[in-house]
Amino acid sequence: MYTCHFWDNNLSTKCSITSIYGKHTGSQRKELWKDISDNVISDHLWIVGGDFNTICSLEEHQGLTTPTLADITDFKDCIEAIPLICPTFEGGIFTWSGVRSRGRIWRRLDRALVNPLTMNHFPELNMKHLSKTSSDHKPILLQCQLEDFKGAKPFRCQDFWFSHINFLKVVKVNWTQQPMIGGMRGLVIKLKGLKATLKNWSREPFGDIFEAVKEAECKAMKAQEEYEHNPVDILRSIANKAQADLIVATNRETLFWKQKANIKWMELGDQNSSFFHSYVKSRRSNLKIRSITDGNGRKKMEVEEIRKAAEDYFKQCKKEPLGGLKPFRFLDAWLNHPTFLKVVTDSWDKTNQHGGMEGLARKLKELKGHIKERNTKTFGNIFSKLKGAEQTAIQAQENFEKDPSPANREQENKAKAQLILATDYELSYWKQKANIKWMEEGDCNSKFFHAFVKGRRAKNQIRRIVDIQGKEHTDREVIHNMAIDYYNNLFNSKKDIVTTPVLDYLETVITQEDNAKLSKIPTAEEIREAVWSINPNSAPGPDGFNGSFFRAAWHIIQNDVISATQEFFIGINLPKSYGSTFLSLIPKIDNPKSFGDYRPISLSTFMSKVNTRILADRIQQLLPKIISSEQTGFQTGMGVDEQILLVEEMVHKIDSKIRGGNVIIKLDMAKAFDNLEWDYIQGILKKLGFSEHNQGLLLANLRGTHISIMINGSPKAESSVRDLPQWLWSGD
């Protein structure tokens, strides 16, 4: 193990690179793990790489020989305790191969690891496993600067907005000013109007929450130093105020990161730490699609090519110009701003008072525009504001220490409060960005947390795609069109499928009483329970509003939401905005090459989730009539890992003696249940006894879906996959 230190004049930072060569036995490598742990570098960039001579998981081994689990555990314990992050890689997973007594084996012995600070500095960090030459090891290329695939981000309602004293007032004013249109359309209109109001409003009170935290820190430090030099009442007051401002700024930053991370296992345990930030960045890196293989085997690497491939996957589409805009997303940090609800109220009141689904959609659309505009004025750049708050706090503390007068103490207290506020906004941003489900408030806005977000984002980037002919594509437009073609072919209707004989074996089990319960107009309380039962931090749809917003502004928007939901159960067709859905592509494997290596995740609007939640809760009571207990594959309260262990135990017991014998049947789920014809689904519902009205309710969200493919966080303008009312894909 050797370490070299470098100074980068361009980056104005120090970087240390540690070269590793691990011994051949686990006992000899224990000394290496100790050396690495004893020489941890956390104050500047640190890259640790080389031949570790061991693997980190069983997936990194292939061959007849069995790897030593203790060696794997030692390696993992070492890098997790420091912690070190392994960037995403391209190329084959194995970096070494050799012949042993039982045949050839392949292993991933070589890798590069980085500390959280490095991942924060280079969020697009990426490794390439290059081809072997004269050595039996593959060379590793670590790329610190990759092409930025940024586009305009969609609106997101930030959790830290809810803490602002004026947030609900803004929501109320906007909500009441919008047209009095009821039902689903009215709700969509109001949310749209509120979005615009909140965007504009959030810029002023929040701005850049990260800069606000830094500014608050500076002010707090300065105020404390001034009070220490001159401990008078005025400087103490200033120092206290600066400290309070710092706490507010820090809390906003924490809320931001919590919403960004959305780590369910955290549950308020990880408070805005570097791991928290690193997770968000790492997941963001992981979500990026860097390449894709189209139907002709051609590899696409450019984002434009990936976008084109994504569109082609869904439908035969028109060749339209790449939009590259990021969708609106409500930021949770906005909720903490005192004027947030005022913005919502103003936007809601200004929008025409149309009820129902159309009215709600229109109000939300108007609100989105107001939020965007206000966000620029109120919040601006939260990171710049955090830096400014830190500097102001430091200056205020220094002034109070030099001259502890009441005026300086008041300035210090104010700077401290601003710093706390800016920090809170930044943390809220990173939490929402990370979306780390296992953290739940665990890590306190750390660099590792930031690095995680950036690393995940880089991993999920689609930079290249390989088509069915083996050709690699990197153009953004080509990749997007390839995706459209891929999913279009997947979702196309197969009208030649004969399903009538299957339906003949079904019995009618749903009674008129069951139909009446299912189609009953939901009460206001039932709708509210549905809103609160949905995870508020789940990723929002194209409108950008998550459950946190609906909860925070419920007393303003509840009438429109209730009217829209009841309108749906009456049987009114869904507005297009209700069915608008983003299709986000998440890599299923390391180093994905084709769209088959990505798992499509539908991001639907929260309004449509409320409808489906009520339907799901009601139909769950009917499931015992439709599905027998023997057909229930998963047991309530058991995790996936427990199910796997149960299956393994069943396989182990297959030879146990029992009258009649034992049989285990393995089904290819992708072939058996990959997709279902919608007409076939309706035929089943009809045969089971569901009324025409209830058939329409159950299929409404499917038939009203309008999909836009997200490539690297940005949906292409007017690239929606339309006219796909024929197939239901497993996972929908």
Q: In this predicted model, what pLDDT tens digit does every residue of 614-629 receive, in sequence order? A: 999 999 888 888 887 6
Please list, residue by residue across 72-99, b when 16 or more beta carbons sit within 10 angstroms of its beta carbon and e when fewer do. Answer: bebbeebbeebbbbebbbbbebbbbbee
Tell me the CATH number at 38.
3.60.10.10
Domain annotation covers residue 729:
no
- Give the pLDDT of residue 616: 92
Residue 502, C-beta contacts closer than 8 angstroms, at least 6 positions apart: none
Domain annotation covers residue 110:
yes
Q: Which residue bears the tokens 């209707």? A: 493
Q: What percent of the chain has pLDDT over 70?
A: 80
Structure-block tokens of residue 542: 């194209």
Q: What's the rounded Cα separation, in Å, for the pair 256 and 334? A: 9
The residue count for the chain: 732
The answer to whether 159 and 431 have CB atoms below 8 angstroms apart is: yes
638-695 pLDDT per residue, tens: 666 677 777 777 787 777 776 677 788 777 666 555 567 778 888 889 999 999 999 9
Q: For the chain, how many structural domains are there in total?
A: 1
Q: What's the rounded Cα separation, in Å, for the pair 453 and 270? A: 14
Say what the pTM is: 0.59
Residue 322, C-beta contacts closer than 8 angstroms, at least 6 positions apart: 304, 307, 476, 477, 480, 716, 717
Q: Max Cα separation, the chain?
A: 92
Q: DSSP states of 166-218 as a string?
A: THHHHHHHHHHSEEEEEEEEHHHHHHHHHHHHHHHHSBTTTS-HHHHHHHHHH
Domain annotation covers residue 55:
yes
Q: What's the burial of 6, exposed, middle or buried (CB within 10 Å: 0-12/13-18/19+)?
A: exposed
- Give the pLDDT of residue 50: 93
Q: The domain containing residue 130 runs over which residues?
A: 2-143
Instruction: Calculate helix-pair angle for 554-570, 524-533, nearest 10 degrees.
Output: 110
Structure-block tokens of residue 131: 């081809």
When pLDDT is cut at 50, 70 and 90, the band that residue 121 belongs to is confident
Q: What's the rounded Cα separation, in Å, for the pair 516 and 519? A: 5
The answer to whether 688 and 626 have CB atoms below 8 angstroms apart is: yes
Domain annotation covers residue 248:
no
Domain annotation covers residue 328:
no
The candidate with the shortest Cα–Cα distance to 115, out of 30, 26, 3, 209, is 3
Q: What's the rounded Cα separation, in Å, for the pair 711 and 479? A: 9
Q: What's the rounded Cα separation, in Å, for the pair 38 and 81? A: 11
548-590 pLDDT per residue, tens: 889 988 988 898 899 999 999 998 888 888 888 888 888 888 7
Q: What's the rounded Cα separation, in Å, for the pair 321 and 447? A: 38
Please list, residue by residue across 510-542, b when 16 or more beta carbons sit within 10 angstroms of its beta carbon and e when fewer do. Answer: beeebbeebbeebeeeebbebbeebebbbbbbb
The answer to whether 158 and 374 have CB atoms below 8 angstroms apart is: no
Q: Between β-strands 89-90 and 126-129, what pairing exists: parallel, antiparallel or unpaired?
A: parallel
Domain annotation covers residue 28:
yes
- Higher-confidence residue: 324 or 421? 421
- Give the pLDDT of residue 732: 42
- Give the pLDDT of residue 533: 94
- Give the pLDDT of residue 469: 83
Structure-block tokens of residue 591: 């180093």
Domain annotation covers residue 301:
no
237-266 pLDDT per residue, tens: 888 888 888 888 888 777 777 776 654 434
Mean pLDDT throughout 118-132? Answer: 80
When pLDDT is cut at 50, 70 and 90, the band that residue 385 belongs to is confident
- Higher-confidence residue: 260 or 2? 2
Q: What's the rounded Cα separation, in Å, for the pair 425 and 333? A: 5
When pLDDT is cut at 50, 70 and 90, the band that residue 438 belongs to is very low
Domain annotation covers residue 71:
yes
